[in-house]
Structure 1
Amino acid sequence: MSTTLLLLGILYFVQGIPYGLQSSLLPVYLRTVGLSFTKISLTKALYFPWTLKVVWAPFVDQYGTKQRWLLISMCGLAMCCLLCASLSPESDFQLVAAVFLFMNFFASVQDVAVDGLAVRILRYEEVGYGNTVQVVGYKIGSVLAGGGLLTVMDLLGWTFIFFLLTGIYLVAIIYASSEFGNTSVNQPCGGKKPSRTLNPMTIVKDFIAVPATTWTVIFVLIYKLGEQGAISMFPLFLLDHSFSAQELGFWNGMVAMGFSIIGSSLGGILMSKYRALPLIKILFFLRLGSLFFQTIVVFMFDPNFLIWKSAAVLSISLQHFLGGLITTVTFSIMMHCTQKADEKIQATHYSFLATLEVLGKLSFSTFVGVVVDWIGLPASFLLFLILSVLALVHVLKAPTVISC
């Protein structure tokens, strides 16, 4: 692996830690203490800073250096982990939630900076591999902090684990500082800073002028809706049907995420050999079949039969494998679109697309618990299938420029 890809991988790795903590650990913990699906889903609101990335993206894009923003954000993440080590989720849950909110803020700032860096330094033929590093690094950080924490929480304890995470951030800060000291990737091409513009109307006009932006905006908003609902609710369904928190930490938090990482890695390889548009169409058809299989498991599941438990684990693994593939190709499509933009708005343009990608997942996962409590889990999975079909229809109407 090149030094550039290794640096990007480490930056995305530490950026994935807050997501893993909140997506894999907190929901299971809250369910074990008896909270409803609705309340658990509403904790997704702590991801709110990610939806505002586009607000501070122009500042990261046009003021200071990417190095400075990256170091500031990682220092903030280290301080949040240190603060969490002094708190207890049982007695200080509101304070823990506030710290997680700040963790998401610093991670979102870091995301803007590292995405802007990646857009500039990755050549067209490297985008697939670069996005593999992005997705895999992020997911490994998420797995370590989510499923890993859930599995060993009873053994190591909350305080020790957050001291460990603080140390990981400090190591990442030292490594990034040394690498940036040996490279000039933070400097604009030609050695001159692009002209600054923070006028919202000018930025929006520049966005719209970038080819395929309108289609890509709709795509990133809807491409995960059905899958996101299933990923959010199926582990909680299993928790209510004889699976323990430890089993879910292993199968859903580690094994399934391992398949997700394999899928993301394979996505980078496929992107180096095939164009994005034909590939994403095939993957959407496969995902629809996977979701149909998981829906059958929901309707037929019987915890007294090993075959149904095995089918549940298989459906989770298959779902995460295809999800990893689709995510890598999706972020590659986003980056190809952004590379057609003017350099002065590239980081902002990509952050805008990435914000909408998060917003699409977050808005649905926040309220999916309400839907499940209202119409029940089986009917909800039928709804997830319909949403996946709608996303597939949009992909089939993609402009040919996406494949360029």
Structure 2
Amino acid sequence: MQRTRQSQLLFFSLMTGLTSGFPYLLTSDTLKIWMSLSNISLVYVGLASLINLPYTLRFLWAPVIDSIGSYRKAYGIVSIFLCAFTLFTLSLCQIDKQPLLSALTASFTAFFGASSSVALESQWLLSMTTDERQACIGMNNFGFRLSLIITGALSIVLADWISWKVTYQVMSALMILQGMYFIYCPIALDQQSHQPIQHCMSNLLSLINRLINQKQTLLFIISYKITDGFVLNMLSIFMLKALHISPTNIAIIHKVVGLSMSLCGAFFATWYIKRYQLTHSLKVFALFQSGTIILLACIAYYPPDNLAYVVVIIATETFSNGCLSIAIMSYVLNLINPEYAATEYALYTTLSSLSRYIIGPFTGILITYTSWSQYFVCASLIGLTSVWLLTQAQQADREIGLTNSPD
């Protein structure tokens, strides 16, 4: 019986990650490719970056989801079906003739996708015990990255083979299947009582105030994946401009090698954190990530003739990135109060990805005035600040007597 529950919980974790990430690329990168191939003005393509803003701002309406208690699952399922409906509607839009209508439809898709992810992830958090957490985090991350493969590379290939209209209809059908799974999901979820919306909003404000007062913890959460802003935003351009790798090889390295090694890193981090202390793991993975970025600086300074060297270094860097993703998620989940799981999960995950959006716009300016090797050395050194901030956050927690901070 216990083995059956563990299997069901792991599959539930995978499906939660898959569903949470499924609409994301369909309203961002994949949609932009469709718009570009439809000869849409680059102005509209650039503005399409705002479509996924609900994923960043979802903590604003997460208190509403917390207030409905055990109905969070139902809210998530309804959001999945609405997301599938808007995806189907998007497929019917003439994107070249109706760019604004298409963007509005995609915005609704992003809103329902962000809402379903908050509702389902908060229920997922409540479904597992502390001992089950690390294995569940690994499977959840695997599901999320699997969704990126399906809605990214696979959907682009499918659109090239048939059409964008049919591709988005297929993705809509897959969303419906995911919704059906959650309707009949065998995992028994804790029944939580409803809470007044005022209490949930008050908790959000008090959490923000608490984080402002605990500046070290706030800065650590924001900065831990700051290297993403440097590396992920410019890696393709680096390979294309500095290493002169063909677009086809870049796609293979990114989609096949990159995602595969990122998954390997996620599963390794799951094992490592379970075996060693979380705080120790956070520091080790941050140092490892900074080291792999130095390797990028090395190939920028001495470009190798053999593509295999580049592949190995990119694989190592994406492996370390997978480790970082699991580590910061584990840290964040330890901070969440189950009573307000949706609100706190939405806020913490927004903060943990914030640095990528802050740094991203400035990377092009930085590389314009430096060399690629200097750029990556700078990124590596900045990444090390998270280790110092974690030490400061631990010290501050001990001084004020916090007992619920991660070990």
TM (norm. structure 2) is 0.83
Aligned residues: 391
Q: Does 1:126 align with 2:132?
A: yes
Shift of 1:267: 1.8
Alignment deviations for residues 360-404 of structure 1 (CA, whole Å, 9 cap, x no partner): 322322443454456565554343223212223223434176443
Aligned residue for 1:60? 65
Taking only aligned residues, the RMSD between alpha carbons, in angstroms, comes to: 3.4
Matched, 1:185 2:189: yes
SS in 2 for 1:272: helix
Q: Which residue of 1 aligns with 2:3?
A: none
Q: Structure 1 63/320 Cα, relative in aligned 2: closer, same or farther at 3 Å?
A: same
Matches within 5 A, 1:44-83: 44-63=49-68, 65-83=71-89
Contact 1:73–1:110 (Cα < 8 Å) also in 2 = yes
Q: Secondary structure at the match of 1:123?
A: coil
Q: Find the aligned partners of 1:34 and 1:388 in 2 and give their Cα distance.
A: 39
AA in 2 matched with 1:187:
Q
Tell me the SS of whatever aligns to 1:277.
helix
Residue 271 (str. 1) matches residue 276 (str. 2): no
Q: Quick one: distance in 2 between partners of 1:293 and 1:89?
A: 42
Q: Does 1:143 align with 2:153?
A: no
SS at match of 2:51: helix
- Note the 1:386-397 alignment, pairs <5 A: 386-397=381-392
Sequence identity percentage: 16
Question: What is the alpha-carbon distance in structure 1 between the residues aligned to residue 383 and residue 136 of structure 2?
Answer: 27
2-structure distance, mates of 1:374, 1:76: 46
- Residue 226 of structure 2 corresponds to which residue in structure 1? 225
- The alpha carbon displacement at 1:163 in A equals 1.8
- For the 8 Å contact 1:62–1:196, the answer to whether it is kept is yes
> Equivalents in 2 of 1:100, 1:246: separation in Å?
29
Out of 307, 311, 320, the position equivalent to 2:318 is 320
Q: Where do residues 3-402 of structure 1 align in structure 2 (5 Å cutoff)?
A: 3-21=8-26, 25=30, 44-63=49-68, 65-87=71-93, 94-179=100-185, 184-185=188-189, 187-188=191-192, 192-194=193-195, 196-198=197-199, 200-201=201-202, 203-205=204-206, 215-240=216-241, 242-301=244-303, 305=305, 307=306, 309-338=307-336, 341=337, 343-372=338-367, 377-399=372-394, 402=405
Paired residues of 1:18 and 1:142 also in contact (CA < 8 A)? no
Give how far 1:352 is off: 1.3
Comparing 377-386 with 163-172, greater Cα deviation is found at 377-386
Distance 1:77 1:133, change over 3 A: same
**One-letter code aligned to 1:326:** L
CA distance, structure 2, for counterparts of residue 89 and residue 21 of structure 1: 14
Are the counterparts in 1 of residues 67 and 200 from structure 2 also a CA contact under 8 Å? no
Q: Is the 8 A contact 1:148 1:249 kept in 2?
A: no
- How far, CA to CA, are the matches of 1:384 and 1:79 in structure 2? 42
Compared CA separation, residues 258 and 21, structure 1 to 2 (3 A): farther
Q: In the TM superposition, what is the alpha-carbon distance from 1:24 to its structure 2 partner? A: 5.5
Asked which structure has the greater RCO (Cα within 8 Å, sep 6+), the reply is 1
How far the C-alpha of 1:355 sits from its partner, in A, is 1.7
Structure 1 stretches lacking a partner, 5+ long: none
For residue 278 of structure 1, report the CA deviation from its aligned partner. 0.4
Residue identity opposite 2:256 in structure 1? M
